[in-house]
Amino acid sequence: MKNNIGNDFLRLTQYKFLEESDRAKGVPQPPIEIPENENPLLELDDPKAFALPERNLTELLERRKSYREYSDEPLTRAELSYLLWATQGVKKRIIQETAEGFVDVTLRTVPSAGARHPFETFLLLNNVEGFEAGLYRYIATKHKLQALEVTADIQDEIVKACLGQEFLKTSAATFIWVADSYRTRWRYGERGVRYLFLDAGHVCQNLYLAASAIDAGACAVGAFNDEELNSLMGLDGSNLFVIYLATVGKLVSQA
């Protein structure tokens, strides 16, 4: 019989096959964020001060679709800040008492299994006011950015790793979500790998709706060369790996 990796994954991550999680064993929880580099933190606007156009949820759902063509109009700093907050913004950070001890928890604008929030948001900025083109990372706990590689050359490298999808560099910004899988596996064991992909869907849908709210469009991207993109991003590809991408940009006028 031909191997079916997907079915094997679903079968082996059933509860009956799971071993005791590291959390249950008393292993200390992993950090809620990967360490910052030595570069200075870059300020973002206060997302709660951002004035949104008046629209209801039904309207946003009706407008939501994937857009791969964008105008030359840049995203503003305030709009980028709002999109970051909408997709990974920290509403509250608490120390929670559990049967296994105290746990550092962030409550965010998206749901996540066990409030583990395993994602780091990397950004390819192409056309955002106040920022040079290049690769950045969002420090969610501080709502700030940090530069990783500020050079336009990174655009072509990321497009190549994403199988030549040119709209990744014609967007105003491309969100690159990196999973820190142990944050979730620490609590749920190997079943936690399932939850990574569920969580990724929650995050990307928030981006679609938030983009629609600011008269922008988004497009999710799941096609990429894993090894090439992870290597480009400096990720080990095992615990830290790219799980999903999405482009955002202002819409081309329909007039």
Domain that holds residue 113: 42-250
Closest by Cα among 122, 56, 61, 82 to 214: 82
pLDDT the model gives residue 254? 59
* 189 vs 183: CA distance, rounded Å: 10
With 80 as the cut, is the pLDDT of residue 21 above it?
yes
Count of structural domains, the chain? 1
The CATH number covering residue 172 comes to 3.40.109.10
Q: How confident is the model at residue 255 (pLDDT cuts 50, 70, 90)?
A: very low
Query: What are the structure tokens assigned to 62, written together?
Result: 């009706």
pLDDT digits (tens, 9 = 90+) for 107-151: 999 999 999 999 999 999 999 999 999 999 999 999 999 999 888
Looking at the chain, the whole-number percentage of residues with pLDDT higher than 70 is 98
Closest by Cα among 114, 115, 131 to 123: 131
Beta strands 119-125 and 173-180 are: antiparallel
Please indicate, yes or no, if residue 66 is contained in any of the structural domains. Answer: yes
* 3 vs 167: CA distance, rounded Å: 35
Please indicate, yes or no, if residue 140 is contained in any of the structural domains. Answer: yes
* 10 vs 189: CA distance, rounded Å: 14
Considering only residues 53 and 163, tell me which one the structure prediction assigns the higher pLDDT. 163
pLDDT the model gives residue 102? 86
Query: What are the structure tokens assigned to 195, written together?
Result: 């939850």
Please indicate, yes or no, if residue 217 is contained in any of the structural domains. Answer: yes
Q: Around 170, how many Cα atoms within 13 Å sit in the side-chain half-sphere?
A: 14
With 50 as the cut, is the pLDDT of residue 86 above it?
yes
With 70 as the cut, is the pLDDT of residue 204 above it?
yes
Please indicate, yes or no, if residue 6 is contained in any of the structural domains. Answer: no
Quick one: average pLDDT of 76-97? 96
With 50 as the cut, is the pLDDT of residue 14 above it?
yes
Please indicate, yes or no, if residue 5 is contained in any of the structural domains. Answer: no
pLDDT the model gives residue 19? 95
